[in-house]
Chains A and B, each alone.
Chain A
Amino acid sequence: MLLIDCPWCGPRDDEEFHYGGEAHILRPRDAAALSDEAFADYLFMQQNPKGPHLERWSHNHGCRRWFNMLRNTATNEILEIYPMGEKPKTEAGQAAYAANWRRETAAEKNALSGEGS
């Protein structure tokens, strides 16, 4: 039973949370231009490392906020928790982030495109 430190509510049992899979998946901006293969990559091909994993969680039985987390899937050790739209700050987190092949957050993506909404 994981003890997850919700950035807002503090430490709670994993039962209160919803696991949202890999973090930092870039949703294609111009999906129409993508091949089926490239789109499948976005849709289905999630990182599945044995070791530090950047993932999203939501405290959905509490404050309903989403956040990012770095967890070692081989030990369940939680290494870092950081807000949605931000990058990890720990060394392990940055290494995991660098190893990701589609590292961009929604905020970054918007910044890239220079548009608001």
Chain B
Amino acid sequence: MSGQNHRLANSGSIDRSAPLKFQFDGQQYEGYKGDTLASALLANGVHLVGRSFKYHRPRGIMSAGSEEPNALIQLGDGNRTDPNLRATRIELRDGLVAASQNRWPCLKFDVGSVNNLLHRFFPAGFYYKTFMWPASWWLKYEHWIRRAAGLGKAPQGRDPDRYEKTHRHCDVLIVGGGPAGLAAALAAGRTGARVILVDEGTLLGGSLWSDLDCTIDGAPGLDWVRATVAELQAMPEVTLLIRTTATGYYDHNYLTLLERITDHLGTAPDHLPRQRLWKIRAKRVVLAAGAIERPLVFANNDRPGIMLASAARTYMNRFAVTPGRRVLVLTNNDDAYRTALAMHAQGVRIAGLVDLRAQPKGPLVAAAAAAGIAVHPGQAVVATRGALRVSSVEIMKLTADGAGVTGSARKIECDAVAMSGGWTPTVHMFSQSGGKLRWSEDVSAFVPDLSVQAETSVGSCNGAVSLVKCLKQGLKAGIEAARATGYKGRVTAAPNVGEPPQSDRRDLWVVPGKKPLGHAGKHFVDFQNDVTAADVHLAAREGYQSIEHLKRYTTMGMGTDQGKTSNINALAIMGEVLGANVPGADVSRVGHTTFRPPYTPATIGAYAGRNIGAFFDPVRTTAMDFWHREAGAKFEHVGQWMRAWYYPKPGESLRQAVDREVKAARDGVGILDATTLGKIDIQGPDAAEFLNRVYTNVWLKLAPGRARYGLMLKEDGMVMDDGVTARLSENRFHMTTTTGGAAGVLDWLEEWRQTEWPDLKVYITSVTEQWAVASICGPDCRTLLAELCPDIDLANDAFPFMSVREGTVAGIAARVFRISFTGELSFEINVPRRHGLALWQAMMEAGEKYDICPYGTEAMHVLRAEKGFIIVGQETDGTVTPSDLCMDWIVSKTKVDFVGKRALARRDIVSADRKRLVGLLTEDPNEVLPEGAQIVEAVQPEPPMAMIGHVTSSYYSPSCGRSIAMALVKGGPTRIGETLSIPLAGKTIRAVVTEPRFFDLDGERANG
């Protein structure tokens, strides 16, 4: 294969010594190191690279940067495939495999292009007007719409690559490594400030890589770039990041940068992430993001081979590729002359230079004439031809006002068109920062106006057109930013610059065609989403005149390019339409759609970073976890904790295991890992007063050594947490909270202490993990404990129920609480975490003769339910008061105040009609109600049915030999004795309302 037939013999900064092979749509090609996929395809004469979103029109490469709307590629295959990548941003590497998208069966012949034939029926927003009949068919229509939409394909499996994130702080962050950004970095870097400079490209220097006609201090601009980069690289506090896009600008100078680390390497070394998201907090930001050239909106301006003039120049000068052999240039400004001249100098034939301006003048125009280029001033391209690539254009003379064309058309053969409609400053990051834009007549685009964050825009993103201005602004902003962050330095004079001058532009937002707009050919505005100038007119006609309505109605600017090349054209056209109809309306009043992160599409995996898989959410385990695991426990997640759920013996079901565990706890001795309960050390002379205010019951008189159960309410009176708190000494308490509530309660206590009661002398410290806790219960537990605990008298009167003692257990210093969540005689043994496993093992060993049985959270739930003890989060859901739980006994009537008190007296809270806690006994004792099941008074043949409550807890109770349940039911205790129904899908269960207590009603067992 002849191969790179559009590669120029010399020039360019590609590495000709490193040829690379790659594949596009199954065909083999060759390019060089330093190429992008786009430049390599062009080098091989390939322009047709994709099909448009809606009409499936053939499309070619339009730009040389990240603004590319057309050349969207499916890269790679298998689990490493990436949809929708821009060919202009893909660095060529050996063995690269790329494919076009959104076409079937192939790019050259795409069935979807019937849409183009039927285009008349598909104006903007057509789907809002149809597909409504019959109503039930929408899902069918939609199925096909969905299949037709979308662009590339998602991979089918897990991403084999890793992504990382990092934080970084700096004094000055500079976005953009063109001349303006480099100048800023140089000025700031020389002061010693911490500088980060990012550029999304692979080379620093920005447009200087294509604008070879510029000199700095008498030498080629690129010499200055090389020297500057070398100086910056030598500065220890300067970080230069290439292949890195500034994606987001958030509040308080927080920016995200997405660095592509391994994509260009082909195969990535294992230790490196594919991409890294940098999260930067910058003291000052300098935005030097450059400008993007605008296409011209003329009839059928979308054929492959039609590209931006600056892109053509970039392909020539940087990649040594010519987009064609006979190139037509179409422009409304001087800049495209540079492209024409550069091509001409390389021996590329300029088929003509069509200039929309009636009388272009100036040195560039003169140079073109001198070079023998045929300049056609005051002319317009009115039509283009060529099925899969442009083959000719027709030009006609523009009327004086530019609104129409006159005379006869002239055909010019060409195989590429380079167009220039002016430049749009890249204000994305500025606008994301919250900065306000202003319409500039100088550049016919929006430029930064009011900054709201510590940021400065410089260079062509700030509306500067000349290189010298870009350098000056950069140097000034760099030094000012460094000074503002405390460094010293002087503004250095800008170097001497040699550059072609620029004269006036002529904005013709729609280049007139031979027929009225929309009657012949399509004037594309948004190339990716197939939005035409006629669509903009249609939207205006139908009342979608706000720029935001225009966007949403036509999808203008909503593609993967976010309208980088189209927004200004679209809103200017809208401005013109409105200007004609509404007095005073013009472009600046139309405004711009909102700029949002990311600047260019950014890999989702990078934003997830390592916070997936094992790092998605920490799993917390107790000191005894290893033992539970070895014992074959099944686990349950409670908050972030892993708790032993039950310990099945071989062949046992959940129910069998739990029955056994419950029985053991009631009849012998059971042991539970209760470590996860929250624990808080509360100290100070006002500790008791403090508790008195946060709990509903009274605390002042609790004697040291004694413990009490407490209920905490939110200020709205709803139950928030519960637990036992013990008074260790006059001024010291040990509070326990629920497992899930631990962090919240600690914060809650601090909040009240610091904000409402700053005068209380109390210190609060979390000790949740200081202690490992083994809770033992059952008739034999006292004897067992006595064996291991020589120094505490465990007798009922020496160590009564609801008290705490300190001593040693199995030789370990311990805090022992005599409290019970099972209703049995029970001790909770707290030891420092390091001894948790040893304590557990000692208990198991000593308990062997009592058939000690470890029980998990499920058995714990059954045990407490048999006793009617509530669980916050199960019997409660944030809407339940103590009275709803029939726990009025714990709410002090005498205390003047506690958190939540007043709320309990509100009229709907004291209503007799509230749902309150009851027990439920199913008619069939073996029937276990599903937790969450809804209760009705009367079953109807069909829903709807009036619900009066729901089952909060439900188990088979081995101790009662039947099922038991707790429920919140309207009227609660007033219904005791009534039979209610629980209609489930398929059957209805009937149950009798009882007290919510099922076992050991007189509470004797806790005494052993």
* Cα distance A113–B279 in the bound complex, in angstroms: 50
Partner of A1, one of B252, B434, B689, B756: B252
Whole-angstrom distance from the CB of B904 to the nearest CB of chain A?
11
Residues of B within 8 A of A28 (CB): 902
Asked if residues B689 and A66 are in contact (CB atoms below 8 Å), the reply is no
Whole-angstrom distance from the CB of A99 to the nearest CB of chain B?
21
Closest Cβ neighbor of A65 among chain B residues:
B754
Asked if residues A84 and B906 are in contact (CB atoms below 8 Å), the reply is no
Asked if residues B758 and A85 are in contact (CB atoms below 8 Å), the reply is yes
0/1 per residue, B719-747, Cβ < 8 Å to A? 00000000000000000000000000001
Task: Find residues 22-43 in chain A having any chain B CB closer than 8 Å to their own CB.
Answer: 27-28, 31-32, 34, 36, 39-40, 43
* Cα distance A60–B754 in the bound complex, in angstroms: 12
Whole-angstrom distance from the CB of B748 to the nearest CB of chain A?
11
Partner of A117, one of B750, B759, B907: B759
- A117 and B281 in contact, given A36-B906, A43-B903, A85-B758 (Cβ under 8 angstroms): no
Whole-angstrom distance from the CB of B765 to the nearest CB of chain A?
10
Judge if A9 is at the interface, Cβ distance under 8 Å. no
Judge if A58 is at the interface, Cβ distance under 8 Å. yes
Task: Find residues 74-117 in chain A having any chain B CB closer than 8 Å to their own CB.
Answer: 75-78, 84-85, 106-107, 110, 116-117
* Cα distance A40–B905 in the bound complex, in angstroms: 12
Closest Cβ neighbor of B434 among chain A residues:
A75
Whole-angstrom distance from the CB of A29 to the nearest CB of chain B?
9
Report how many A-B pairs have Cβ atoms within 8 Å: 70
Judge if A49 is at the interface, Cβ distance under 8 Å. no
Residues of B within 8 A of A85 (CB): 758
Residues of B within 8 A of A40 (CB): 906
Asked if residues A58 and B902 are in contact (CB atoms below 8 Å), the reply is no
Asked if residues B252 and A60 are in contact (CB atoms below 8 Å), the reply is no
Judge if B715 is at the interface, Cβ distance under 8 Å. yes
Task: Find residues 55-79 in chain A having any chain B CB closer than 8 Å to their own CB.
Answer: 56, 58, 60, 64-66, 75-78
Asked if residues B750 and A2 are in contact (CB atoms below 8 Å), the reply is no
Partner of B747, one of A1, A18, A78, A107: A18
* Cα distance A1–B751 in the bound complex, in angstroms: 24
* Cα distance A106–B452 in the bound complex, in angstroms: 35
* Cα distance A84–B750 in the bound complex, in angstroms: 13
Task: Find residues 1-20 in chain A having any chain B CB closer than 8 Å to their own CB.
Answer: 1-3, 13, 18, 20
Closest Cβ neighbor of B254 among chain A residues:
A1
Partner of B689, one of A43, A84, A106, A117: A117
* Cα distance A110–B759 in the bound complex, in angstroms: 9
Asked if residues A39 and B758 are in contact (CB atoms below 8 Å), the reply is no
* Cα distance A52–B902 in the bound complex, in angstroms: 31
0/1 per residue, B236-255, Cβ < 8 Å to A? 00000000000000111110
Whole-angstrom distance from the CB of A23 to the nearest CB of chain B?
9
Judge if B94 is at the interface, Cβ distance under 8 Å. no
Asked if residues B757 and A117 are in contact (CB atoms below 8 Å), the reply is yes
Judge if B897 is at the interface, Cβ distance under 8 Å. yes
* Cα distance A74–B759 in the bound complex, in angstroms: 35
Closest Cβ neighbor of A28 among chain B residues:
B902
Residues of B within 8 A of A34 (CB): 902
Residues of B within 8 A of A32 (CB): 902, 905
Asked if residues B755 and A56 are in contact (CB atoms below 8 Å), the reply is yes
* Cα distance A60–B743 in the bound complex, in angstroms: 10
- A1 and B250 in contact, given A36-B907, A43-B903 (Cβ under 8 angstroms): yes
* Cα distance A28–B905 in the bound complex, in angstroms: 15
Judge if B901 is at the interface, Cβ distance under 8 Å. yes
* Cα distance A37–B751 in the bound complex, in angstroms: 25
- A2 and B251 in contact, given A31-B902, A34-B902, A64-B750 (Cβ under 8 angstroms): yes
Asked if residues A31 and B897 are in contact (CB atoms below 8 Å), the reply is yes
Whole-angstrom distance from the CB of B750 to the nearest CB of chain A?
6
* Cα distance A2–B254 in the bound complex, in angstroms: 8
Residues of A within 8 A of B758 (CB): 84-85, 106-107
Whole-angstrom distance from the CB of A5 to the nearest CB of chain B?
10
* Cα distance A66–B733 in the bound complex, in angstroms: 23
Interface residues on chain B, size class? 20 to 34
- A31 and B901 in contact, given A36-B906, A76-B251 (Cβ under 8 angstroms): yes
Residues of B within 8 A of A1 (CB): 250-252, 254, 279
The SS class assigned to the B binding surface is mixed
Asked if residues B686 and A117 are in contact (CB atoms below 8 Å), the reply is yes
Asked if residues A66 and B759 are in contact (CB atoms below 8 Å), the reply is no
Closest Cβ neighbor of A40 among chain B residues:
B906
* Cα distance A75–B906 in the bound complex, in angstroms: 38
Partner of A84, one of B250, B452, B754, B760: B754
Asked if residues B906 and A39 are in contact (CB atoms below 8 Å), the reply is yes
Judge if B413 is at the interface, Cβ distance under 8 Å. no
Residues of B within 8 A of A64 (CB): 747, 750
Asked if residues B750 and A58 are in contact (CB atoms below 8 Å), the reply is yes
Closest Cβ neighbor of B716 among chain A residues:
A43
Whole-angstrom distance from the CB of A37 to the nearest CB of chain B?
10
Asked if residues A27 and B756 are in contact (CB atoms below 8 Å), the reply is yes
Asked if residues B759 and A84 are in contact (CB atoms below 8 Å), the reply is no
* Cα distance A110–B434 in the bound complex, in angstroms: 43
Closest Cβ neighbor of A116 among chain B residues:
B759
- A106 and B757 in contact, given A34-B902, A39-B906, A43-B716 (Cβ under 8 angstroms): yes
Residues of B within 8 A of A13 (CB): 254, 281
* Cα distance A38–B289 in the bound complex, in angstroms: 56
Partner of B715, one of A20, A43, A66, A84: A43
* Cα distance A107–B252 in the bound complex, in angstroms: 32
Asked if residues B755 and A84 are in contact (CB atoms below 8 Å), the reply is yes
Residues of B within 8 A of A84 (CB): 754-755, 758
Residues of A within 8 A of B755 (CB): 20, 56, 66, 84, 106
Asked if residues A39 and B903 are in contact (CB atoms below 8 Å), the reply is yes
* Cα distance A106–B757 in the bound complex, in angstroms: 7
Asked if residues A20 and B751 are in contact (CB atoms below 8 Å), the reply is yes
Closest Cβ neighbor of A1 among chain B residues:
B254
0/1 per residue, B58-92, Cβ < 8 Å to A? 00000000000000000000000000000000000
Whole-angstrom distance from the CB of A102 to the nearest CB of chain B?
14
* Cα distance A113–B81 in the bound complex, in angstroms: 71
Residues of B within 8 A of A106 (CB): 755-758
Closest Cβ neighbor of B255 among chain A residues:
A1
Closest Cβ neighbor of B248 among chain A residues:
A1
Closest Cβ neighbor of B758 among chain A residues:
A85
Residues of A within 8 A of B901 (CB): 31
* Cα distance A106–B907 in the bound complex, in angstroms: 28
Asked if residues B252 and A2 are in contact (CB atoms below 8 Å), the reply is yes
Closest Cβ neighbor of A60 among chain B residues:
B747
Whole-angstrom distance from the CB of B106 to the nearest CB of chain A?
47
Residues of B within 8 A of A31 (CB): 897, 901-902
* Cα distance A27–B760 in the bound complex, in angstroms: 16
Residues of A within 8 A of B760 (CB): 117
0/1 per residue, B433-456, Cβ < 8 Å to A? 010000000000000000010000
Closest Cβ neighbor of A64 among chain B residues:
B750
* Cα distance A27–B751 in the bound complex, in angstroms: 13
Select the residue from B686, B754, B897 with max chain A CB neighbours within 10 A. B754
Task: Find residues 806-832 in chain B having any chain A CB closer than 8 Å to their own CB.
Answer: none
Whole-angstrom distance from the CB of B524 to the nearest CB of chain A?
38
Whole-angstrom distance from the CB of B550 to the nearest CB of chain A?
26
Asked if residues B434 and A3 are in contact (CB atoms below 8 Å), the reply is no
Closest Cβ neighbor of B760 among chain A residues:
A117
Residues of A within 8 A of B905 (CB): 32
Select the residue from B252, B254, B281, B897 with max chain A CB neighbours within 10 A. B252
Binding site for B on A (CB under 8 A): 1-3, 13, 18, 20, 27-28, 31-32, 34, 36, 39-40, 43, 56, 58, 60, 64-66, 75-78, 84-85, 106-107, 110, 116-117
Q: List 17 A-B contacts (CB under 8 A).
A: A1-B252, A3-B253, A3-B281, A13-B254, A18-B747, A20-B755, A36-B907, A39-B902, A39-B906, A43-B903, A58-B747, A64-B747, A64-B750, A66-B751, A66-B754, A106-B756, A117-B760
6 closest A-B pairs (Cβ-Cβ)? A31-B902, A3-B252, A1-B254, A66-B754, A76-B251, A117-B759
Instruction: Kindly list 4 other residue pairs between chains A and B, CB separation below 8 angstroms, not including A56-B755, A58-B750.
Output: A20-B755, A64-B750, A75-B434, A110-B759
